[in-house]
Every structure is written in C-alpha cells, then in structure tokens.
A = this chain, B = another copy of it.
C-alpha cells in the first residue's frame, strides 16, 4: 500500500462517508455509474435489513476527476448518509447539541463496544458503534471501484460468489429465512476471483512485499471476517505435496497448469493463473434474540442492545472483499509498471 494510498472517514449516521485516494495516474476514465453499481451490489443480497431499503448509496466526486478522467491529483469520493436528517442533532459536531438520545451502555458481544470503550474512554457506546459499524465499507467499495476501473484498462476483472451460508452450500435463501424466523444471524464462506493478472505482482524478497500477505490483511480487516485463505488453502494442511502443488506443462510452447490449488500465488507473487481468495464471515453479532452481556454504566448483567441489522450479509462481504483486494492489486500494479498517466502505463506494461 504505497502508491495507491487512501484514507476513509465517516460515521454510520453522520453527515457523509468520505474517501481521499492519492496516487492515481492521470487519464483514467472514472465512470460514476460503475461506482454506483458497485455500491448497489454491496447493498444487495438476500437477508439484508431495513436500512438497505432506506438508502441507495450514490457517490459524488468532488476532486481529482475532470470531464470524466483522472487528473493525477487526489480523488475525493463522498457518499451522503440519506438518513442524516433524522440524526442531525444526535450526530452533530457541535458541543451545543449535546444530548444523550440514542446513547447506550450495554456492550454487544462480538462488536467493538467493549474493547473500544476501554481504549478510547467512551462511556456512550454510540461513539464506538458509529465508526465500527460496517456502514463504513460503503466508501471502501467506492474506493475499490476506482481501483477496478484502473485494472479494467489492463483487462483485469474481478468477481465473487457465496460458497456457503450457515451449514448450507446451496439453498441459501431458505437457510436465511429460517434464521430470520429464529431471530438469529448467519455467516458464510465466499470466494473472490481476479482474472488476467500479469505474472510477478508482489515479491518474495521481503515479508511485507508478499501479495498473499497484503491480500490477507485486506480481507481479514473486513468487519466479521475471521478466516482467509488463498486458493485451496483451507485444505493445504491435509494434502500431500504431490496433491497440492500445481505441476507445469507445455502446450503449444506455452507453460500451462492443469490445477490451481495455489490460487494464483506462488512465492507471494501472481503466477499468471486466476487469483482465488476465500474467506469465512462470522454471523452478525446484532440479533433480535439477544446475547447475554454487561451494562458498562452500572456493571450489571443484561442482554445486548439491538440496533436494526441484517440477518446475513455474506454477499455484501464478498463485494467488499473484491474492493479491498482490488486496492491491494492496483497498488502492486502501479508500483510494477510505474508511469504517471494511463498512456505511460500502457507503454510500460506491454
């Protein structure tokens, strides 16, 4: 993460989510519709709660793009929280608006509430919830959409699919309906695939230049993801060397493989095969059937605060993972091929 660098900001019910991306070369087409499509993909999927219906996220670009092309200067992306009008006072930046409306003090297990309150000294857990909420992934998906637009110019594509929801590997909607009725939540497993990557992104020369490590950070830091693997990594410990490694053959003078257990990464570098990443998402902690917990204000046992939430968000999580991995890849891409404009990069990457 060096050439394509970005910061994101924004509270769940604050005025807006914002991102600044620095390091995008000049001359790339930025298609707002594509970004909005990605935002929509994040909001879709069976099992989402009420908020997804309230808000259709739309990006606004306030810098770095002119007449549809990147200028080379930092790009600002803004997603307004449409719900903000109802939260204006509650989330106000002004000391004059101080109120304890919507404040709460009962920790939600599985969330940042407890550790966050110890760390930052917040009594009102609202101050933690607002940023630790997965709402912030909307702007990360927008950043990832910019990364994808860059990669698209070089023929690189991304896709994802859900592999499992709860214990089911096929009938996802039924599984989700059942969980909703029970007032519980479900996690799942998903897969992200990038195609058409050049050989040699990432490097074995230093631990922090390995692309598998960078991708693992990107995916594991998505809220609720608890496991990340590359290719058939979940089974890597069970297979022998003979079974796991992808032998190399020649076909019409070109090197080919018949398998891709390695998921496209050897020695921390892309090897020309599809890049495959899988991850497990835990069930969302906020449930209608609440968990036992503790009220930090008076140290008494109670049940967890419930805030409108989803039953299952694995599809969304896969979209977020696509976006995050796109950021890791585009950074390697920019580092490898150099160049300050699309034109220069195209010349360099031939």
* Contact residue among B16, B62, B340 (Cβ-Cβ distance under 8 Å from A121): B340
* Contact residue among B75, B189, B199 (Cβ-Cβ distance under 8 Å from A118): B199
A248 and B67 within 8 A (CB):
no
Min CB distance A238 to B, Å, is 6
Q: Is the C-beta of A173 less than 8 angstroms from some C-beta in chain B?
A: no
A71 to B205, CA, bound (A): 9
A77 to B230, CA, bound (A): 32
A121 and B26 within 8 A (CB):
yes
What 0/1 pattern do residues 241 to 270 of A give for CB contact below 8 A with B?
Answer: 110111111100101010000110011111
Assembly stoichiometry (copies): 4
B301 and A249 within 8 A (CB):
yes
Interface residues of A in 255-303 (CB under 8 A from B): 255, 257, 262-263, 266-272, 280-285, 287, 289, 291-294, 299-301
Question: Which of A36-44, A45-53, A149-157, A213-221 lines the interface with chain B?
Answer: A213-221
A6 and B7 within 8 A (CB):
yes
A62 and B110 within 8 A (CB):
no
Q: Which residue of B lies closest to A26 (CB)?
A: B120
Interface size on A, residues (CB 8 A): 169
Given A91-B66, A118-B200, A299-B253, A234 and B234 contact (CB-CB distance below 8 Å): yes
List of B residues within 8 angstroms of A280 by Cβ = 229, 233-237
List of B residues within 8 angstroms of A98 by Cβ = 67-68
* Contact residue among B61, B107, B221, B241 (Cβ-Cβ distance under 8 Å from A268): B221
List of B residues within 8 angstroms of A119 by Cβ = 72, 199-200, 203, 269, 340
List of B residues within 8 angstroms of A94 by Cβ = 32, 67-68
Q: Is the C-beta of A167 less than 8 angstroms from some C-beta in chain B?
A: yes
Q: Is the C-beta of A158 less than 8 angstroms from some C-beta in chain B?
A: no
Q: Is the C-beta of A2 less than 8 angstroms from some C-beta in chain B?
A: yes
* Contact residue among B268, B291, B301 (Cβ-Cβ distance under 8 Å from A250): B301
Q: Is the C-beta of A228 less than 8 angstroms from some C-beta in chain B?
A: yes
A200 and B63 within 8 A (CB):
no
List of B residues within 8 angstroms of A227 by Cβ = 227-230, 233-234, 236-237
Interface residues of A in 66-117 (CB under 8 A from B): 66-69, 71-76, 78, 91-99, 107, 109-116
Residue from A229, A281, A284, A289 having most chain B Cβ neighbours under 10 A: A229
Q: Is the C-beta of A341 less than 8 angstroms from some C-beta in chain B?
A: yes
Q: Which residue of B lies closest to A185 (CB)?
A: B241
A332 to B271, CA, bound (A): 28
A72 and B205 within 8 A (CB):
yes
**What are 17 A-B contacts defined by CB distance under 8 Å?**
A5-B7, A8-B206, A22-B209, A68-B94, A109-B247, A110-B266, A119-B269, A187-B241, A187-B244, A189-B237, A200-B340, A216-B216, A226-B233, A227-B230, A248-B292, A250-B301, A339-B348
**What 20 new A-B contacts, CB under 8 Å, besides A9-B20, A73-B205?**
A11-B66, A14-B62, A30-B93, A66-B93, A68-B94, A73-B130, A109-B247, A115-B269, A120-B341, A128-B204, A131-B204, A164-B238, A215-B220, A216-B217, A226-B231, A227-B227, A233-B280, A241-B291, A337-B348, A348-B348
